[in-house]
Structure 1
Amino acid sequence: MKNQIIIGCSSFYNSFWKNIFYPQNLPSKQWFEFYCHHFDTYEFNGSFYKFPTVRVFQNWYNKAPESFLFSVKVPKEITHIKKLKDCESLLNDFYEICNEGMKEKLAAVLFQFPPSYTFSQEKLETIINILDYNFKNVIEFRHESWWNDEVWNVFKDNNITFCSVSHPNLPQTIFKDFPLLYIRFHGIPKLFHSSYSTEELKHVNNQIDSQKGFVYFNNTASEAGILNALELKRMTV
């Protein structure tokens, strides 16, 4: 079976991509439509910075083609400020907004925790207890202490995906035995800027063969992200 990997980016509104991806004369208001002609998914990071409304997500839902999928990042108020403490109601509101706004175009719900969020039994239990398992939950950690068998086993038992990351300060393991394969390429050695070579992308493509999931390029502070996404997409066809 050929891999069922859907590839996209974590940003699209990018002036670096003019003449490289977007035609020179294409108005910026048409960039997302153009992006959707080339990719079938988008990792929505705007919700990390500002708690979304149903209307905001409905607008994105209406802009996207019928088969398009969004992965949506949980607000930093939940993951970075409160760090899941006393967040049950807030998180439930977010899930409800995702469900009502994105409907069938919602792919995964991404929790990204800060480097200061180190492993502990208590934190692991909090994660397990607070998630809504009607959604595809993906957890991205930024501290290596979470790379351990206990976490992985608990995640598998609870149908949670451990996010694979390409990040300067983290192991680059590609995890293939969770509910989804979910990879975020952030850029190495320069975070958000560095490009991945053809050889590196071929190596990744060989590992994700026969898998099902999502790959997002977040090295979008330059032209690298879109070029890498297009190249890997060509490899998976």
Structure 2
Amino acid sequence: MKNQVIIGCSSFYNSFWKNIFYPQNLPSKQWFEFYCHHFDTYEFNGSFYKFPTVRVFQNWYNKTPESFKFSVKVPKEITHIKKLQECERLLNDFYEICKVGMKEKLAAVLFQFPPSYVFSQKKLETIINSLDYNFKNVVEFRHESWWNDEVWTVFKENDITFCSVSHPNLPKTIFKDFPLLYMRFHGVPKLFYSSYSTEELTSINHEINSKKGFIYFNNTASEAGILNALELKRMNA
């Protein structure tokens, strides 16, 4: 059975991609439209740095094809600064903005926690009690302590997806038995820069056989991300 993963990138505005992906004479204001002709999803990371508005998301919604999907990252104010403490209003606002702005094009809501966010029972309970389960929630950890059976069991019980990551300092586990297969390729060994070989992509493609979900390439500080995304997409054609 053919893989049912949807492949995309975590960035598109990249001058390294001219002549490699974007035609030399294509104005940068048309880059995202060009991206949408080749990919069916985009991981929106801008919301991590600046709390979004409905109008911002509606603009993105309006300029994408009907079947296009967005995964949207939760603002760092929630995950990195407050670390989910006293965040009920902020998080409710964010979910509502995603719902109204992205509508049916919203694929998943991505929570990325910092490396300093080390596993504890209390933190796990906070996550479980904070999320809105009307949405497809994906959680990415950057500390290895979260790679444990207790977390995985509780996540599955609550329909939360544990994010699979390719990162220099984290296990290479590909999680295939959560609500979604959700993978983020950050670049190894050089974070955000390194490319993945054809052999690596072939092996991963074989391992995710027949799974549903999303794969995003975040090794976009060079040309690596777009080339890897295109190659993996060809493998799934």
For residues 3 and 153 of structure 1, what CA distance do their matches in structure 2 show? 25
For residues 192 and 40 of structure 1, what CA distance do their matches in structure 2 show? 22
Paired residue type of 1:59: N
For residues 2 and 25 of structure 2, what CA distance do their matches in structure 1 show? 37
For residues 90 and 36 of structure 1, what CA distance do their matches in structure 2 show? 30
Deviations 1:41-74 (A, max 9, x none): 0000000000000000000000110000000000
For residues 190 and 46 of structure 2, what CA distance do their matches in structure 1 show? 22
Counterpart in 1 of 2:5?
Answer: 5
Paired residue type of 1:134: N
Deviations 1:174-205 (A, max 9, x none): 00000000000000000000000000000000
For residues 97 and 33 of structure 1, what CA distance do their matches in structure 2 show? 23
Counterpart in 1 of 2:68?
Answer: 68
For residues 220 and 122 of structure 2, what CA distance do their matches in structure 1 show? 35
For residues 151 and 213 of structure 1, what CA distance do their matches in structure 2 show? 20
Where does 1:173-188 land on structure 2 (aligned, <5 Å)? Answer: 173-188=173-188
Where does 1:20-169 land on structure 2 (aligned, <5 Å)? Answer: 20-169=20-169
Residue 87 of structure 1, CA deviation: 0.2
Structure 2 counterpart SS, 1:192: coil
Counterpart in 2 of 1:193?
Answer: 193
What TM-score do the two structures reach when normalised by structure 2? 1.00
Q: Which runs of 5 or more residues in structure 1 are unaligned?
A: none
- Measured on the aligned residues, the alpha-carbon RMSD in Å equals 0.4
Paired residue type of 2:211: Q
Counterpart in 2 of 1:15?
Answer: 15
Q: Which runs of 5 or more residues in structure 2 are unaligned?
A: none
Counterpart in 1 of 2:222?
Answer: 222
Paired residue type of 2:33: E
Paired residue type of 1:219: N
Paired residue type of 1:154: V
Structure 2 counterpart SS, 1:11: coil
Equivalent pairs counted in the alignment come to 237
Paired residue type of 1:225: G
Residue 2 of structure 1, CA deviation: 1.7
For residues 112 and 55 of structure 1, what CA distance do their matches in structure 2 show? 24
For residues 169 and 107 of structure 2, what CA distance do their matches in structure 1 show? 27
Structure 1 residue ranges (4+ consecutive) displaced by more than 6 angstroms after TM superposition: none
Structure 1 counterpart SS, 2:201: helix
Residue 3 of structure 1, CA deviation: 1.5
Paired residue type of 1:135: F
What TM-score do the two structures reach when normalised by structure 1? 1.00
For residues 204 and 40 of structure 2, what CA distance do their matches in structure 1 show? 19
Paired residue type of 2:137: N
Structure 2 counterpart SS, 1:70: strand
Deviations 1:12-40 (A, max 9, x none): 00000000000000000000000000000
Structure 1 counterpart SS, 2:72: strand
